[in-house]
Amino acid sequence: MEDSPQSAGDRKTRFYHPYQDLHVPITKLYELPTAPEHLFFEEAARPHRSWGENLQYYTGIGYLSGAIFGGARGSLQGIRTAEPGDTMKLRLNRVLNSGGQVGRRAGNSLGILGLIFAGLESGVIHLRGSDDVLNSIVAGLGTGAIYKAASGPRSAAIAGAIGGIAAAAAVAGKQAAKRYVPI
């Protein structure tokens, strides 16, 4: 856009420029920061997510992954249970019902596991006063034990061991990915 007057026949006109009196380079107006913005300095100094952020993250990831994988598994079950005389509409209904039912059940189960894990991990971090690998492993042990506590002490102990091993494997995989996978 030009600020100089132009002659169009006998009339003198110029282009309208709403930022002409603003002495700020226009490109600076639209440069957005790439780092996260924090309201308080204490939030920026913390090396980990808050307990609320962990709660939302683990519960959401658990529910979403459970719903996707459970829905796929249920859809395959619906395809397998189709009978030879079924119409296409009946087969599709069977697949959708089975996928929805299994997906919802798996999503709820993994969402609850994420909720318990996030609560335990935040509690362990608060009690120990440090954020390290041991917190995730202890939270995994506790999550498995709490999730299967109603099935008896033997089932709770086995589920706790599985949860601790799964959490340790996830932490080790995350650290290996940080080390060997360029970002």
Neighbour count for residue 170 (Cβ, 10 Å): 13
What pLDDT is stored for residue 10 in this prediction?
58
What pLDDT is stored for residue 18 in this prediction?
73
What pLDDT is stored for residue 29 in this prediction?
64
Residue-wise pLDDT tens digits, 4-54: 555 455 567 777 777 677 776 666 666 777 777 777 777 667 666 778 888
What pLDDT is stored for residue 45 in this prediction?
72
Quickly count helices (H) and strands (E) in the chain.
6, 2
Positions of the chain with pLDDT under 70: 1-11, 19, 24-30, 43-44, 46-48, 183
H-run or E-run covering 44: helix 41-45
What pLDDT is stored for residue 145 in this prediction?
94
In the block, which residue shows the tokens 């492993």?
137
pTM above 0.75? Answer: no
Residues in Cβ contact with 15 at an 8 Å cutoff, skipping those fewer than 6 apart: 1, 2, 3
- Looking at the DSSP assignment, which residues form a beta bridge with residue 8? 11
Residues in Cβ contact with 35 at an 8 Å cutoff, skipping those fewer than 6 apart: none
Residues in Cβ contact with 113 at an 8 Å cutoff, skipping those fewer than 6 apart: 62, 143, 147
